[in-house]
Amino acid sequence: MNPAMDAPELDYRRQSPGVAARFGRLRQRPVILSVRGLGRVFGGHTAIGDISFEVHRREFLCVLGASGCGKSTLIRLVAGLDTPSSGAILLDGKPVAGPGPDRGMVFQGYTLFPWLTVKKNVMFGLRMCGKSPTEAECEAREWIALVGLSKFENAYPHQLSGGMKQRVAIARALANRPRILLMDEPFGALDAQTRAQMQDYLLEIWRNVDVTILFITHDLDEAVYLSDRILVLGANPGHVLEVIENPVPRPRSRDQFTAPEFLAAYRRISELIHPRGSATAEKIHIPRLTKAGDDVE
Amino acid sequence: MQPKAAKKPWFAPFEPVSPGAGRWLALGSFLIPLAVWCAVSYLPFVWHPLVKITDPGGVAYFQPGTLVEKATFALENSRMRERGLAQAEGVPANPVFLPSPGEVAVALYRSFTTPPRRSGDKWLHESLWHSIQIIFWGFLWSSLFGVPLGILSGVFGVFSKLTEPAVDFVRYMPAPAFGALAVAVLGIYDAPKIAIIFIGTFFQQVLVIANTTRKLDPALIEAAQTLGARRPGILFKVVLPGISVDLYNDMRILLGWAWTYLIVAEYIGASSGITFFINQQAKYRIYDNVFAAILIIGLIGFTTDRFLAWFGGFLFPWKSRTGPAAKPADA
């Protein structure tokens, strides 16, 4: 995993003055999304127990957890695609009722409309929200330019690579100027290189566009690289283990993957989602099928 | 020089055949049955159970052109030999119901150029045109009701539960069973025939299209909802375009089904169209015309379907022509 895991340990809670000041400013910003005592029960199974957190304006919040901790359930509830069994979700202080353009969403699967060109895909939301065709086209062009796909505005989704499709999906969601952008493991289906590229793209977009991001991932590196704060979830039922204030300073670069703050945060999350002993609890015994002396180690 | 590509084995499971080989194989799928038909027709030793008389000789009841069993022919000739009369002569032949490809080809041509035997009878093209009209109206009426109902059933649970159980029940009733009823209600001319095509198509259509609609990726609907689409927007801007390709292909298959009901439908009431033509020709024992008419039905169905498949490429430009293997250029 990380080459410098054995470096002298740094407390993940220790923040440089610059980072501490940023968090100070962040806390001053208005709360965009407020989740209070959220619960969701499917039949007899409790997917999410009791989750509460807040997202401030222009914050980048990552939600991280092992599979089955209710990450996707959580984001679907926030998007309004599912109804909570208990608790409340407030957007700008008003309870969320059903899906809407104020919470743009980027899904893991490519959900571009295959029958529409890139431009028409980005125009879709604008048209649905009552913009005239010329107005919508004009704005769509700007968003497509923002994600660097102007050359492909008349291409159909099947002609694009996975990374390009997700860039269109981001442009499509942003075009509606959502209060918060919900991203459900958006880069999960991409190969490692494209994924790294997309992470940099996203940080760049987030820096330059007035947008708040709630980002679901199961990738520790991704969470630490992108986020301001990390909401670490535990499973059975889904609950908040800890909200970590990311000590890695901004602007971010890939060199920081081996920085002490990065490793400290990484180590802490790792401890939270794989508590000591849990990984070794289910050790598999594999019988030896090679000759004695024919060893690889 | 480029290294020669490894040759693909002939029988690789689930591997597509190369386009070049595919064309030859497709041609073969027609040529092989045709070759078998030619062999049976033109090679006297393959089947030819009868003898076609060329010279009756002394046999009083033989006529030039009569078909007789080989055994009868041998028996009569041996009798003639005993009586010292002239031998009958003939060539090996197939039964009258198996004309040769050449005869059918000639019949196909002639049926468009020679007037029908009885003055009241219809020309082949007139019969065909009548049949095509029956299909058209039956399919149109069925689609007018079946397509919207199928889509609504696929989208809304309420419509699904309200229609599909009954439709599922009725579709097991064979359409021809409604023939007598259709004649009683609608008379003996075209209306009951169109009704049979309708009954045969409609109930399948509702179920097939409802299923197609349900197969639409729900993530597309959810994406549309998070982009601000409300119910009409979802129905007209997401569901309809989303299912259009599959719907179009369903319609092609259903049109094929409509053709299968044609012959039954045309038997009902006053027999008409291509069915009447085939029956008349069979009565006159002109089996080359019967073959020609059957072949033409196949030809019309096949070319219509090929045309629709080709036309679909124009209607749905977002469907990649080269299939999912087409590799996109990465940014």
pLDDT one-digit tens code per residue, A121-134: 999 999 999 999 99
Structural domain of residue A238, as residue ranges?
A: 1-30+57-83+180-274
Question: Does B117 lie in the same domain as B55?
Answer: no
**B230 shares contact with chain A (CB less than 8 Å):** yes
Question: Does B222 lie in the same domain as B76?
Answer: no
**Averaged pLDDT, B111-136:** 84
| Contact call for residues A162 and A145 (beta carbons, < 8 A) | no
Answer whether B217 sits within 8 Å of A129, measured CB to CB.
no
Question: Does B283 lie in the same domain as B158?
Answer: yes
ipTM of this complex > 0.85? Answer: yes
User: What is d(CA B134, CA B262) in angstroms, rounded to the nearest whole number?
Assistant: 8
Question: Does A169 lie in the same domain as A203?
Answer: no
pLDDT value of residue B5: 65
pLDDT value of residue B325: 35
B299 in a domain, yes or no? yes
Question: Does B171 lie in the same domain as B85?
Answer: no
The closest CB to that of B328, out of A99, A100, A160, belongs to: A160
Q: Which residues of A touch B (CB under 8 A)?
A: 79-81, 98-101, 103-105, 107, 109, 111, 113-116, 124-125, 128-129, 148-149, 156-161, 163-164, 167, 172-173, 176, 182, 194
B108 in a domain, yes or no? no
A92 in a domain, yes or no? no
| B222-280 per-position pLDDT tens digit | 999 999 999 899 999 999 999 999 999 999 999 998 998 988 898 888 888 888 888 88
Question: Does A241 lie in the same domain as A190?
Answer: yes
| Contact call for residues B190 and B271 (beta carbons, < 8 A) | no
Question: Does A1 lie in the same domain as A125?
Answer: no
Contacts of A149 in chain B (CB under 8 A): 331
Asked if residue B327 has pLDDT above 70, the reply is no
Nearest to A8 by CA among A254, A260, A290: A260
CA distance A211 to chain B (A): 16
Question: Does A196 lie in the same domain as A239?
Answer: yes
Run of H or E including B75? helix B70-83
Question: Does B164 lie in the same domain as B241?
Answer: yes
Structural domain of residue B134, as residue ranges?
A: 113-315
Dihedral angle over CA of B63, B67, B68, B74, nearest 10: 70
Answer whether A111 sits within 8 Å of B217, measured CB to CB.
yes
Sheet with A212-217, side-by-side order of all strands? A94-95, A86-91, A31-42, A45-56, A238-245, A229-234, A60-65, A212-217, A180-184, A103-106
Q: State how many domains chain B has.
A: 2
Confidence of residue A145 (pLDDT cuts 50, 70, 90): very high
Asked if residue A104 has pLDDT above 70, the reply is yes
Question: Does B121 lie in the same domain as B54?
Answer: no
A23 in a domain, yes or no? yes
Domain end (from A177, A204, A223): A177
Of the two residues A171 and B1, the one the predictor is more confident about is A171
CA distance A234 to chain B (A): 26
A191 in a domain, yes or no? yes
Ramachandran assignment for B14, one of left (phi > 0), alpha (psi -120 to 50 degrees), beta (any other) = left
Answer whether A176 sits within 8 Å of B316, measured CB to CB.
no
Of the two residues B318 and A268, the one the predictor is more confident about is A268
Is the backbone peptide bond immediately before B241 cis, with ω within 30 degrees of 0? no
pLDDT value of residue B263: 87
Question: Does A184 lie in the same domain as A270?
Answer: yes
Minimum Cα–Cα distance from B315: chain A residue: A115
Question: Does A240 lie in the same domain as A204?
Answer: yes
A45 in a domain, yes or no? no
pLDDT value of residue A217: 94
Question: Does B189 lie in the same domain as B227?
Answer: yes
Read off the CATH number of the domain in which B282 is found: 1.10.3720.10
Question: Does A208 lie in the same domain as A78?
Answer: yes
Question: Does A124 lie in the same domain as A138?
Answer: yes
Question: Does B192 lie in the same domain as B64?
Answer: no
B27 in a domain, yes or no? no
B6 in a domain, yes or no? no
pLDDT value of residue B120: 73
Question: Does B85 lie in the same domain as B127?
Answer: no
B241 in a domain, yes or no? yes
B69 in a domain, yes or no? yes
Question: Does B72 lie in the same domain as B122?
Answer: no
Answer whether B233 sits within 8 Å of A158, measured CB to CB.
no
Burial of B163 (0-12, 13-18, 19+ CB in 10 A): middle
Contacts of A214 in chain B (CB under 8 A): none
CA distance B246 to chain A (A): 13
pTM of whole model > 0.90?
no
A284 in a domain, yes or no? no
Question: Does A198 lie in the same domain as A173?
Answer: no
CA distances from A2 to A110, B124, B260, B304 (A): 30, 81, 67, 63
Asked if residue B320 has pLDDT above 80, the reply is no
pLDDT value of residue B13: 87
Question: Does B226 lie in the same domain as B297?
Answer: yes
Dihedral angle over CA of A189, A193, A197, A200, nearest 10: 90
Of the two residues A104 and B122, the one the predictor is more confident about is A104
**Averaged pLDDT, A228-249:** 92
Of the two residues A292 and B191, the one the predictor is more confident about is B191
B309 in a domain, yes or no? yes
Mean pLDDT of chain B: 88
Answer whether A158 sits within 8 Å of B219, measured CB to CB.
no
A286 in a domain, yes or no? no
R_g of chain A, CA atoms, integer Å:
21
Burial of B104 (0-12, 13-18, 19+ CB in 10 A): buried
Of the two residues B307 and A281, the one the predictor is more confident about is B307
pLDDT value of residue A276: 67
Answer whether A116 sits within 8 Å of B318, measured CB to CB.
yes
CA B215 to mean position of chain CA atoms: 28
Question: Does B142 lie in the same domain as B80?
Answer: no
Question: Does A140 lie in the same domain as A68?
Answer: no
Instruction: Write down how long chain B is.
Output: 331
Q: State how many domains chain A has.
A: 2
A204 in a domain, yes or no? yes
Q: In sequence order, which ranges of chain A are alpha helices (DSSP H)? A: 17-28, 71-79, 118-128, 133-146, 162-175, 192-208, 220-226, 260-273
| B57-70 per-position pLDDT tens digit | 888 888 888 889 98
Range with lowest mean pLDDT among A17-21, A239-243, B55-59: B55-59
Domain end (from A133, A154, A177): A177
Question: A242: which 2 tokens?
Answer: 């800890």
